[in-house]
Structure 1
Amino acid sequence: MSTISVTAPDGLPEVRAGDDLAALLAPVLAPLADGDVVVVTSKVVSKAEGRVVVGATREEALAGETDRVVARKGPTQIVRTHHGLVMAAAGIDASNVELGSIVLLPVDPDSSARALRARLLELTGANVGVVVTDTAGRAWREGQTDIAIGAAGLLVTEDFAGRVDGHGNELAVTAPAVADEIAGMAELAQGKLRGRPVAVVRGRADLVLPSGEDGSGAVALVRAEGADLFGFGAREAVVRAVAGDPADQAVFGTPASTEELLRALGAAVGTSTGTATAYGSGVEVRGSQEPALVVVLAFAHGWVVDGTFDGPTGRDRLRLRPSTP
């Protein structure tokens, strides 16, 4: 039998810029034990680190917190932050803060988690893991849940690849994001309006690293640009492919195979793209009536022009190659 418990205590005072957050948390969380996981919302971490902005709106602060826009729909903007997180409005929040103020995410949530872990060890003598959380929506799902945006002293994923289940099936890519699971579990006890921004999860000491080993941090849960199948929203993907900015190439990912590009050319506009055939490591398109569209499709698939139009119409032949070998 396995038992995991979550305790979200009352009694934490209002946190302000410059406060020693660990010193405020230690008496509220006492007694801590080795192997506990302390889960704290990014809101109180940001407050202690002076990330509260007075007299500004989310819209005014959004540009400074945005690495790039992923998708827009009406007034909603989903952006990739400087941390690599993809979140609505860059995680900027106006709840649980004084009227007329907003709270930005911590500059480096993993660093915040490491500092908090070290200070809690100093104050309590307990070797704990630390998770810094924030609330996020999920693609294809209604509602929100808390996720780990910072972590220290904790395995953030478990790797089951290569193991065999009870039926003899070998697991291929199963890797539970346990830091996110802990964040969601803690939020169930904390609630949104109960004034409990911290919780202790007990029962997974196997995930907590030895003192002095902070681990990869929650940054390990962030997919690299181009590794996500949904680097842009549906509308933005069309616009960015048409614009063809080389800076966007990485977001579309590694070049598609020759076969995939040929299928796309055939499916997009039929015969108006001309006749596309493979040659060596490239693709040659002849007789296209829509050469600009061919270029857009190539860009969206990680391919670029490797040759010029020629012939009396100026669009008889176009050669394409992968943007990277």
Structure 2
Amino acid sequence: MADTEQQQPADDGLIVARVCIDDTLGPYEARLDPTNRWNGWLCPRFDLDTVRKIAARTQEMADEYGHDTYDTVHVIDGDARRSEHRAVVLVVRWQYLGGEPGEEVEHAVSVISPDADGLYGIGGGEWTWHAAAPDPDARKENTVSEPKWLADAEAEFARREETRAAYEARIAAETADRINNKLDELGITPIRPAAIQNHRALIIPALLVEADPEEELYSVHADWDATARRVRLAAGHFWNDYAGLLPSRPLNSVEDVVLARREGPEQKPEPQHSGPASWDLRKIAEGAARTIASDVTSHDTGEVVQMLSGVAAAVLHLSDTLARTFTRP
């Protein structure tokens, strides 16, 4: 079912800026309120011509890397009243469309309506828009141009970065598929399958079951353990005592999900306090006591010997006390 996202009229605080999402989208000219952010990311608005460019690029990336990897933007033109041209802007979130045939899916498709200035908010609150570098064509005439060797090096670096980003996105998409395949193998239908964040190689764990605060049951998600190279469950607290998800038990059967709801995150073993090496102190004290001469005749030396004997006895007593303290159950 499609959602309609009605944008608010433009405010006086809007500025014109160039925005992009890394090297995958943009840069595009937009209007935005620099103080209006989602997790630190910008929420830009675009004119219809720019929306068409974004639509073409998102569909191109989805065709190349998979629709489960990227949301796509679509502009549908028509004449609603015959007398005026209309354009409908849609955003399709393909990762939410993996359910059974005929199953109604919320938030999978959004209709983006223009604001009073005819601008469309694309990806605000979902995509990682950020400010782009200044437009090279808009530089001042007295700006010193880059030497050819540096321009070539920058171009090569940009090419490598684009290749790396595409590779990481592909690996992340394959990893999300591994998670979903494991769930399918165990007969688990997730509330939300594993996917990757828009335009980034970050895996969004599959949501298997929501938290239940009344029953004190954790939410359970299926994530990927890169160290063990296997699917691992992750738990979210039912009272939100901590942010995010924490690792739980490996996923081998449906029973692991049932247990993870009750156990929550994996409990790390308490550090073992071995205590001081008290027997080392004893050896030192006994050695010192043995070296103290018993036939000393000098009065001054005798006082020193007596003091050393007292120190040795004190160290022996301390070592025995510490040994009893740290071996006590």
Band of TM-score, shorter chain: under 0.3
Q: Rg bigger for which structure?
A: 2
TM-score (ref. length: structure 1): 0.21
TM-score (ref. length: structure 2): 0.21
